[in-house]
Amino acid sequence: MSETLTKPLTAKDFTTDQDIRWCPGCGDYSVLKQVQSIMPELGREKEDIVFISGIGCSSRFPYYMNTYGMHSIHGRATAVASGLKISRPELSVWIITGDGDALSIGGNHLIHMIRRNFDVNVLLFNNEIYGLTKGQYSPTSPEGKVTKSTPIGSLDHPFNPLKLCLGADSTFIARTMDRDPKHQREVLLKGSQHVGTSMIEIYQNCNVFNDGAFEVYTDKGSKLQETLFLESGKPLIFGADREKAIALDGTIPRVVNLAEANEADLMIHDERNRFQAQLLVSFFDDPKTEGHLPRPFGVFYAEDRYRYEEAMEEQIAGATERMGKGNLDLLLSGSNVWTAE
């Protein structure tokens, strides 16, 4: 007994005996590996951790985690997790979802869970395609996307997932990608430490149905030009030689040459600034357009706000203090009793 208590957990403790069924080369493998690797750092026992997923390729995830887990139904992992978290606030709850699961069929539950700010971690695997149903466009696919269900191009304007989350008053939003394990690990850890709903969007490559969707952010040749890694307290600097920065022209962010920029105009990242977060989630240009802004990665925004489940516990404690612990006999009799002899 004492041995199991003192022996620190390792990533291996979190693997299961189930065969992993993702396609070879799928970005999901990388996320699974990173998640397993940060688990020991949560400081929680395996039995106190729960992974809940919806439906989709990534939603197989719980089967591969040696914790408690539930592979629920399409779009509803967030709703299942809400009920679990209200019931068992002390558990560490992780939601595994995809762009179709979270933003299409489960869009309603996602925004409502976010505004309630349950203390859960959401890993939103965004591959901009429906993989499990074999290649239809998703709510994050770009306009005009040619897929099996849109042979002459999609007519849908896509969601900007993090902007949507911020619109629902998310208390933690971050973005990372499958191809950068180090960054992913960092963001996952930060998300796990945030108390409240941590929304982590992960750019994840579907090498079968949407290969290269995020290549511009992961390819050595373009990555430094097209990505902007956020560090709180530091200016937004990027470029092959870190020669570019973002400066504010009034309220409009623009790419400037760092050497020539007026230091006072440079945007300094501040995770606690909700107005700046609104600007950062809007860095969402098509990388093919002229003068576009780089795509930010890292923690965009974090704030501390009350958690629904804690407030619920307080209400229960308050009601119990005010009215006394529930007495079933008094409840059953009510206040207007008469007796038949």
Partner 1 sequence: MIKEVEEKQEVTIVFAGDSGDGIQLTGTQFTNTNALYGNDISTFPNYPAEIRAPQGTLAGVSGFQLKFGSIEVATPGDDCDVLVAMNAAAFKVNIARLKKHGTIIINSDGFNARDLKLAGYQHSPLEDKSLNDFRTIQIDVTKMTRTALVDSGLGKKEMDRSRNMFVLGFLYYMYNRKLEGTIEFLKQKFAKKPALIEANVGVLKAGYHFGDTSEVFTSRYNVKAASLPAGSYRNIMGNQATALGLIAASQKSGLDLFYGSYPITPASDILHELAKHKNFGVRSFQAEDEIAAMCSVIGASFGGKLGITASSGPGIALKAEAIGLGIMLELPMVIVNVQRGGPSTGLPTKTEQADLLQAYYGRNGEAPMPIVSASTPSDCFNAAFEACRIALEHMTPVFLLSDGYIANGSEPWKFPTSADLPNITPKFVPEKKDDETYLPYKRDKNLVRDWALPGMKGYEHRVGGLEKEVDTGNVSYDPDNHEQMVKIRAEKIAKIADSIPLQIVNNGAEKGDVLLLSWGSTYGVVKTAVKECNLRGMTVGHIHLTYISPFPKNLGDLLKNYTHIIVPEINNGQLIKIIRDQFLVDAKGLNKIKGIPFSTKEIIEVIEQKFEVA
| Smallest gap from residue 113 Cβ to partner 1 (A) | 9
**H or E stretch covering 202:** strand 198-203
Contact 176, 202 (CB under 8 A): yes
Binds partner 1 (CB under 8 A): choice among 80, 114, 228, 279: 80
Contact 122, 53 (CB under 8 A): no
* Closer by beta carbon to partner 1, 291 or else 324: 324
Q: Would you say the C-alpha torsion 40, 44, 46, 51 has a positive or negative sign?
A: negative
List 120's β-bridge partners, or say none.
Answer: 93
Site for partner 1 in 17-36 (CB under 8 A): 18
Annotate 173-189 with DSSP letters as a single string: EEEEETT-HHHHHHHHH
DSSP 56: S
Pairing of strands 244-249, 237-238: antiparallel
For residues 258 and 264, what is the distance between their CA atoms, to the nearest angstrom? Answer: 12
Number of residues that bind partner 1 (CB under 8 A): 61
Binds partner 1 (CB under 8 A): choice among 10, 149, 257, 320: 320
Pairing of strands 198-203, 120-126: parallel
Site string for partner 1, 88-127 (x = CB under 8 A): x-xx----------------xx--x---------------
| Smallest gap from residue 119 Cβ to partner 1 (A) | 14
- 305 belongs to the binding site for partner 1 (CB under 8 A): no
Which range of residues in 163-171, 183-191, 192-200, 309-317 is near partner 1 by CB under 8 A?
Answer: 309-317
The CA distances from residue 115 to 108, 109, 178, 270, in Å, are 11, 10, 27, 22
Binds partner 1 (CB under 8 A): choice among 31, 38, 81, 230: 81
Contact 132, 215 (CB under 8 A): no
At 251, the amino acid letter reads: T
* Closer by beta carbon to partner 1, 33 or else 71: 71
* Closer by beta carbon to partner 1, 44 or else 185: 44
Nearest to 46 by CA among 5, 102, 3, 77: 5
- 316 belongs to the binding site for partner 1 (CB under 8 A): yes
| Smallest gap from residue 122 Cβ to partner 1 (A) | 15
Which range of residues in 171-179, 197-205, 286-294, 327-335 is near partner 1 by CB under 8 A?
Answer: 327-335
- 338 belongs to the binding site for partner 1 (CB under 8 A): yes
Binds partner 1 (CB under 8 A): choice among 31, 38, 79, 267: 79
The binding site for partner 1 (CB under 8 A) comprises: 16, 18, 45-52, 55, 62-63, 65-73, 76, 79-88, 90-91, 108-109, 112, 312, 315-316, 318-320, 322-326, 328-329, 331-334, 336-341
